[in-house]
Amino acid sequence: MQVDKIGELLYFLRKERDLTQKQVANALNISDKTVSKWECGLGCPDISVLPELAEFFNVSVDYLLSGELNLNEQIGGNMKQSKFYVCPQCGNVATSISEATISCCHQLLQPLTPRKAEQGHELVVEEVDGEFYLTTSHEMTKEHYIMFTAAIIEDTLIMKKQYPEWQLQFRMPKRKYARVYFYCKEHGLFYQLIK
């Protein structure tokens, strides 16, 4: 843990919100001199203050302790760069369209690496009422099922939670081109191009 990096991060977070050291101090019920010491790298927040400090700045405690700014370039995000995250503990699903630090159940999540759909994991695509209707022969048991499907169509992400022991069904607008992602609980993330 590098105290000076944590201080730089706290300074950045405060300035980003256009706050004074006094305003931060008042919110945390501490002195502004304490905030100044932290930002100058002359001390570090006490472990008892970290959760409240993280909540105040709307970041995780892990992020504060890392001292890393990790600023995303202001590129507006690109749907083609979408990333998917699944918590191995609770099954929570998260997405981002650029680099992000995402945690769940007290652990840092890594973005899933999608693979092209292989035999046994392909989706069946039919046109129904001017839409694409996707199904699969993939088993949907409690132990082995597809947890979610997601389609990226131009500037839109459509996501649908799937449930074990239910047949996978996914409708999406018919477009010239779309990329569909689906997450198999046992084998990971797959993608399939829909044309």
Domains of the chain in sequence order: 3-66 (1.10.260.40), 81-112 (2.20.28), 113-194 (2.60.40.730)
**How far is C-alpha 126 from the chain's CA centre?**
31
Q: Tell me how crowded residue 15 is: count the other CB atoms within 10 A of its CB.
A: 11
CB atoms within 10 A of CB 149: 22
Instruction: Provide the pLDDT for residue 61.
Output: 85
- Note the pLDDT tens digit of each residue in 47-85: 888 889 988 888 888 888 887 765 544 444 567 788 999
| pTM of this prediction exceeds 0.85 | no
What does the pLDDT read at residue 168?
92
12's enclosing H/E stretch is helix 3-16
Region of 130 on the Ramachandran plot (φ > 0 left; ψ -120 to 50 alpha; else beta): left
Task: Output phi, psi for 67, to 5 deg.
Answer: 70, 10
Q: Report which of 66, 100, 67 is spatially closest to residue 83, judged by C-alpha positions.
A: 100
Q: Rounded mean pLDDT of 137-164?
A: 92
CA angle 86, 91, 93 (to 5 degrees): 45
- pLDDT number for residue 195: 78
**Backbone torsion region of residue 45, taken as left when φ is above 0, otherwise alpha when ψ lies between -120 and 50, otherwise beta:** beta
Question: d(Cα 19, Cα 11) in Å, to the nearest integer?
Answer: 10
